[in-house]
Structure 1
Amino acid sequence: MTDAGTLGAVPAATILPALRARFGALVREVGKFGTVGGIAFAIDLVIFNVLLQTGAESLLAKTGSTLIATSVAFAGNRYWTWRHREHTGMARQYTVFFLLNGVGLGIGLACLAISHYGLGSIWPEFQTPLADNISGQLVGTAVGTLFRFWSYRRFVFGEAPVPAPAPAAAPADPAPPAAKMATRPTHKTAPSAVRRM
């Protein structure tokens, strides 16, 4: 008769380490991606506002600041966030990274354009630097970041399978039972003489 607790513990012993390994790796990637993204965001924010203060047009300022921040983000993600993943070649990764980042840039520019030129044509408050920062830097960056994490992880830095946990040690097979064979003499003995009475 088997113990019910033992039956429940066997799958948990194999499933939990696999889940821990898979989600632990994902959490570490998200944390590193967030750190790199935070640094790139700060660079983007500072350069964007410096360009705005020098009189640059809003969309050109955003494009320039994003290109510089993207180069920083690529280096951080390649050499830190996903350094354990497959790297096929710097030129290919850099190109795909920038193409996908172009989509992220398009998301940020679309948010900025809708706010600055669409809503700004109705309400002048949407054409201020504060409104540009909210629409371009906060809203556009948030939506673009979700896209970037998914696309970089899938298309730029390849797949890296999470190592499967070592299977639980199976009990050793018991030694096979010794053959129960009667010891047979190898030579024939002469039958003992029967004493007749």
Structure 2
Amino acid sequence: MSERGGALRGRLDRLMREIAKFGAVGGAGLLVNLAVFNLVRHTTELPVVRASVLATVIAIAFNYVGFRYFTYRDRDKSRRTKELTLFLLFSLVGLVIENGVLYTATYGFGWDSPLQSNFFKFLGIGIATLFRFWSYRTWVFRALPAREAVQTAESFLGQPSAEPDRVGR
């Protein structure tokens, strides 16, 4: 049971580190998103949801760089085109979730003051973040299979593999 408990603890520790890194990048992306949103909203005549969509797109670009090179830097890098396509697809769904909440509050209920807009933008970001965390870790930044991860680490360290590659394994 102790070996099983140790394995579970290791998985939980890795998940907590991943959540912390995701949160750090996401928190910085949140600041970018809200800063751009408020800057555009208060310096232009763009409608509130268009300003929000623009801010979200800028934050998505910022977040991709942070996720790829910080949060998920140890994940599979062999399929960058597929990764970026999936990232943009899931980010688009997150954009719709995030801005759908703001749209509903603004045009459905008439809540359009700066405070209300920021509250519902923040709420939409929170809901979309739950979806993005699940989708990015499940579909976009996929973990390397254990054998491949060991070989990648060994090649990085310049150490030969302890076990010869066998065909049919």
Question: 1:33-70 CA deviation, whole Å, 9 max, x = no partner?
Answer: 00000000000000000110122111111111111111
Three-state SS of the structure 2 residue aligned to 1:149 is: helix
What's the % identity of the aligned pairs? 37
Question: Segments of 4+ in structure 1 off by > 4 A?
Answer: none
Gaps of 5+ in 2: 148-169
Deviation string, structure 1 residues 68-114 (Cα, Å, up to 9, x no partner): 11111111111111111112333221221111011111111110011
In structure 1, the partner of 2:166 is: none
TM-score, structure 1 length as denominator? 0.71
- Of the three residues 134, 138, 142, the one matched with 1:154 is 138
1:82 corresponds to which letter in structure 2?
Y
Matched, 1:58 2:48: yes
Aligned residue for 2:73, secondary structure, equals: coil
Tell me: higher relative CO, structure 1 or 2? Use CA pairs within 8 A at least 6 residues apart: 1
Unaligned residue ranges in structure 1 (runs of 5+): 1-10, 121-125, 164-197
Query: C-alpha deviations, 1:2-46, integer Å up to 9, x for none?
Result: xxxxxxxxx22x112201211111000000000000000000000
1:140 equivalent in alignment to 2:124? yes
* SS of equivalent to 2:77: coil
1:97-136 matched pairs, under 5 angstroms = 97-120=87-110, 126-136=111-121
Aligned residue pairs: how many? 146
Q: CA RMSD in A?
A: 1.5
Aligned positions of 1:6-45 closer than 5 A = 11-12=1-2, 14-45=3-34
TM-score (norm. length: structure 2): 0.82
More helix by share: 2
Which amino acid is the alignment partner of residue 128 of structure 1?
Answer: S
Structure number, greater radius of gyration: 1
